[in-house]
Amino acid sequence: MLRIAITGAAGRMGRRIAALAIEAEAFDIAAATEMPGHEALGRDVGELAGVGRFGVAVSADLPNDAEVDVLIDFSLPEGTMKFLPVCRRRKIALITGTTGLTASQQAEVADSAREIPILQAANFSVGINVLLNVVALVARTLGGDYDIEVAETHHRFKKDAPSGTAIALARSICAAVGKDYGETAVLGRGGQCPRKPGEIGMHALRVGDTVGEHAVHFGALGETVTVAHSAHTRDTFVRGALRAAEWIGGKQPGLYNMQDVLGLR
């Protein structure tokens, strides 16, 4: 049985990871953590997830006596950076879906991947990861005459914009057509700003409790091709993360993503 630890155990993703991991009976939750001072500290992870008492209390740090194979991290950048060196020191594989990392933080993740296996993805949905391949194919096939716009919608509580998934979609397109994301992407528009040839427009909406919607529009004079994905529940991401956790067990150090898990790269 795979021994996992869950960071951000009281968060929306953390609770569902715990719930589905317990229900699957293929995982042993060895530890669950939350930020220092959080009201969930000391609570049972199973009760917190709404599936009954499990016998593991939420703590602020990864207990020294906890035997962990994989740490699953859907927290904030500061949380990821807190546990990254812990995983590196204790040789624990890391699954992380944290977005909004700075360039220096991302460099630290890449450096750590020289010593432990790390699977990092902006989105753990199987459908989205297939979509990353699809938009690259569409962009290459349609060619440069088509304008490209990426639009995403998430819940009102999401902190970063555009979403990590929207950026991943744009980067996939850029890689497919030989462009640089930093030079190509335009974040929103305002005032008089006519569209420039070759740019990729990035647009973010924050509405209510929307789980996640992404659409990529390819438009020319005469037609528009739209490729889209809607997540109806966070369980979509949780199932992908648990699938990734099972896959990464026993892997060599390296920086992996969901394309590797699905055999798409």
Tokens of 202: 């990035």
Options 82, 155, 158, 203, the catalytic residue: 158
Cis amide prior to 194 (ω within 30 degrees): no
Distance CA(79)–CA(73), nearest Å, equals 8
Report the candidate in 195, 108, 199 with the shortest Cα–Cα distance to residue 96.
108
Options 82, 154, 214, 229, the catalytic residue: 154
10 Å Cβ neighbour count for 190? 5
Give yes or no: 154 in active site: yes
Give yes or no: 158 in active site: yes
Looking at 33-163, list the stretches that DSSP marks H as alpha helix, in order from N- to C-terminal side: 45-49, 77-90, 103-112, 126-142
Distance CA(214)–CA(131), nearest Å, equals 10
Helical packing angle, 235-248 and 12-24, nearest 10°: 60
Q: Which residues are catalytic?
A: 154, 158
